[in-house]
Structure 1
Amino acid sequence: MVADEVRKAIDANNKRFSEGFLKGDAAVTASVLAEDAVVFPPDAPMIQGREAIEEFWRTVMASGVKEVELTTFELSGSGDFLHERGTGILKVHPPGGTPAEQKIKFVVVWKRTADGWKNLWDIWNATP
């Protein structure tokens, strides 16, 4: 069982991640990541390190992803690592294109750091 204060910290990080998309600010979105984080985008190479991941999110935002809604179904683990399982909706408004939504599923590994809980590994893909 994950302590309430830990769950609140993860929820706050997920909210901050999403707020970055609403603001179009990749630095805000990347701020929830550990310095040594790795993301595993669908059909693409792994991206390592917060700075490279921030640039990745900047590109995603420029492509038209304007909003991300995340829903956590499970948060468990112990010690300095937790895993989160959930779903999300990406709201896409491509330049000159038709707005659309993409449903996703995800798994995140969280790491306790000196700066609090940070996203260490993040993998997601589309759901039908």
Structure 2
Amino acid sequence: MKPLLLLILLTSACYGAQGQSESPSLKAARKAIEASNAVYSDLANKNDGSILTRYTADACLYPPNAAPVCGMDNMAKFFKDGPKVNTRFTIRHLYGDGQTYVTEESFYEMTDQQGHKIDDGKVIVIWKKTADGWKMYRDMFSSNHPRNN
């Protein structure tokens, strides 16, 4: 079994019931994740690589309709010169122990710089606790709408 799938299954099986609890460590993780999500768009819009500070050194992105993007250099290329958008995340569920790994299940809404909605979708992020706090380890996202070819 692939390590990432095993991690997700173990997280769900071991912490599914208590993942929604109000444990102090999970509350603290939620607070840190919400803070990181709140500045995500601003960092991405800077085009200076600052968005990478939200990810672990061994992170991977799983964008829709594309191959996985792993490693800081490849992720920097992915984000470089991306569109200027604002994204708001709404956490639906957090699962995990709040101490080592947490799985975030969220929805996003994306608007252009004038506030016009351009997309909405869902996000699954595995967050990893590092010496520098909670960082995104795996980031998977997709639109709720069909792709325009």
Measured in 2, the distance between the counterparts of 1:110 and 1:102 equals 24
Measured in 2, the distance between the counterparts of 1:127 and 1:26 equals 29
Aligned-partner SS, 1:31: helix
> Quick one: which of 76, 98, 110 aligns to 1:90?
110
Question: 1:96 — aligned with what?
Answer: none
Question: 1:20 — aligned with what?
Answer: 43
Q: Does the Cα contact within 8 Å between 1:17 and 1:30 map onto a contact in 2?
A: no
Q: Does the Cα contact within 8 Å between 1:108 and 1:120 map onto a contact in 2?
A: yes
How high is the TM-score relative to the length of structure 1?
Answer: 0.81
How high is the TM-score relative to the length of structure 2?
Answer: 0.71
- Structure 1 residue runs of 5 or longer lacking an equivalent are 94-98
Which one has a larger percent strand, Structure 1 or Structure 2? Answer: 1
> Quick one: which of 60, 84, 91 aligns to 1:38?
60
**Identity level (%):** 24
Consecutive aligned runs of 4 or more in structure 1 exceeding 4 Å deviation: none
Which one has a larger percent helix, Structure 1 or Structure 2? Answer: 2
Question: 2:28 — aligned with what?
Answer: 5
- Structure 2 residue runs of 5 or longer lacking an equivalent are 1-20
RMSD over equivalenced CA pairs, Å: 1.9
Measured in 2, the distance between the counterparts of 1:40 and 1:105 equals 12
Paired residues in the alignment total 119
Aligned-partner SS, 1:17: helix
Question: 2:120 — aligned with what?
Answer: 103
Matched, 1:117 2:134: yes
